[in-house]
Amino acid sequence: MNFARAYRPILDRAYVGLRLTAAPQIKALYQEHDTKPGPEHAMPFAFTTGPIPLQALHDAFIYQKPDLNEHITTGHLVIDNGQAGLNAQGTHIATAIEKALATAGRRLWTRRPIPTMPDDQDLDDLTAIIERLLAGGHRSPGTVWNALTPRKFTQQHDREHRLATGLGILRHHRADAYRSAWREQGWNVDDALEVTDGPTRDRVEALTDQRDMTLWNTLDEDDQWRLIGITGALADGLTSAAR
């Protein structure tokens, strides 16, 4: 199986489990500020280092079809000269969400009910691999990954912050590859959501794998194995979140 296709559900499980673990704290944050979630809720890392191109924001939420005008008038979104950013309250909330995710990661990733689960060295290795991917300057065939990277962290960001943010950003490389693939086949958003089989779907998936693989090919085979093995072994919080 193609590495890119094999890694995607592993990455999704790790990040979605992290989000579910942090969800009560994030919900309380919006209640505290008496405001509704905006784009910063799903992508806090997109805004804490400055604005991103408006096209990247549109692409990131293309399947949800949000009303950006509503977020501008009643939320935290600020559009200026083709760039999408946040007002002061939105930036504060995005930063707090990143902290909540790091805290959730710290809770999850220190769980080792059996000794074969990732230890501190494994977490350090995984974080280092992901940081190299984010900082390497690799370009995707879309807009979102290119808006989020290169990303370099500072000393004020602890390991859990860097790992949580990195897992979130990594997902957007394949998302860019997928959008470019279905657009090339002449599909619209509804086609991408509704067409589940057939020769065009097969071509879209093959193109997605091929284009997503360009990122993972920047790693050697040992690092690919480390990436997929450690990510897959992270405690993910899905069981506890479902109870």
The tens digit of pLDDT for each residue in 75-98 reads 889 999 999 999 999 999 999 999
How far apart (Å, rounded) are the C-alpha atoms in residues 212 and 4? 6
Take residue 136 and report the two structure tokens written for it.
């390497």
Q: How many residues comprise the chain?
A: 243
- Going across the sheet that includes 83-86, the strands are 52-53, 83-86, 77-80
Q: Are strands 77-80 and 83-86 parallel, antiparallel or unpaired?
A: antiparallel
Q: How many CB atoms lie within 10 A of CB 24?
A: 12
Tens-digit pLDDT profile for residues 120-165: 999 999 999 999 999 999 999 999 999 999 999 988 899 999 999 9
Tell me the per-residue pLDDT of 183-222, one tens digit each, with 9 for 90 and over: 999 999 999 999 999 999 999 999 999 999 999 999 999 9
Confidence grade of residue 47 (pLDDT, cut at 50, 70, 90):
very high
Q: What is the per-residue pLDDT for 239?
A: 65
- The CB-side HSE value for 53 (13 A sphere, CA atoms) comes to 11
Question: Taking a C-beta distance cutoff of 8 angstroms, is the pair 139, 215 a contact?
Answer: no
pTM of the model: 0.94
Q: How far apart are CA 166 and CA 159, in angstroms?
A: 10
The residues with which 83 forms a beta bridge, in sequence order, are: 53, 80
- Tokens 């990954």, located at residue: 145
Three-state DSSP class for residue 161 = helix
The two tokens of residue 39 are 């784009």
